[in-house]
């Protein structure tokens, strides 16, 4: 798709969504939720220092899944998270310690947006 349809928000044509997913045994929900909140204390300030971030969301599902969704102005800026110590060393260590298993991370070019 070469044409962008934007209904709610004007984003750069080079914007991407970065999706990071992980899973865990739902019986460990309390531990995983606590670890997620703990990691946010050092991940948020580190990510805020990076150029290009437009949005960042994180969620822990009681069904045993975690997701981080971020929107970046370029793929290159989104890739900064792949090298961010607070994310790939510290955060991974703290989450794996409570049984979290990560899946591959993907970047998706944004074709269109819509907000209610």
pLDDT digit of tens for each residue in the chain (116 aa)?
455 554 456 889 999 999 999 999 999 999 999 999 999 999 999 999 999 999 999 999 999 999 999 999 999 999 999 999 999 999 999 999 999 999 999 999 998 887 76
Q: What is the pLDDT of residue 113?
A: 83
Label residue 6 left, alpha or beta by phi (over 0 means left) and psi (-120 to 50 means alpha).
Answer: beta
Question: Pairing mode, if any, of strands 101-102 and 5-6?
Answer: unpaired
Q: CB–CB of 60/36 below 8 Å? A: yes
Rounded to two decimals, what is the model's pTM?
Answer: 0.88
Is 94:31 a contact under the CB 8 Å cutoff?
no
Q: What is the pLDDT of residue 1?
A: 46
Nearest one of 105, 84, 90, 111 to 38, comparing CA atoms = 90
List the structure tokens of 54: 């437009």
Q: What is the pLDDT of residue 5?
A: 52
> In whole angstroms, what is the distance from residue 106 CA to residue 22 CA?
12
Give the count of beta carbons closer than 10 Å to the beta carbon of residue 9.
13
pLDDT at 4: 54
Sign of CA dihedral 101, 62, 112, 17: negative
The CATH number for 12-109, chosen from 1.10.3080.10, 3.30.70.100, 3.40.50.300, 2.102.10.10, is 3.30.70.100
Query: What are the sequence ranges of the domains in the chain?
Result: 12-109
Provide the pLDDT for residue 3. Answer: 59
């Amino acid at each position: 798709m070469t044409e962008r349809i934007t209904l709610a928000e004007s984003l750069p044509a080079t914007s991407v969504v970065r999706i990071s997913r992980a899973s865990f045994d739902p019986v460990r929900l309390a531990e995983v939720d606590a670890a997620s909140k703990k990691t946010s204390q050092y991940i948020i300030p580190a990510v805020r220092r990076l150029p290009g971030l437009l949005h960042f969301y994180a969620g822990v599902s009681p069904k045993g899944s975690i997701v981080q969704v971020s929107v970046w102005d370029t793929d290159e800026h989104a890739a900064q998270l792949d090298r961010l110590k607070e994310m790939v060393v510290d955060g991974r260590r703290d989450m794996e310690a409570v049984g979290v298993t990560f899946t591959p991370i993907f970047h998706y070019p944004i074709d269109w947006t819509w907000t209610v």
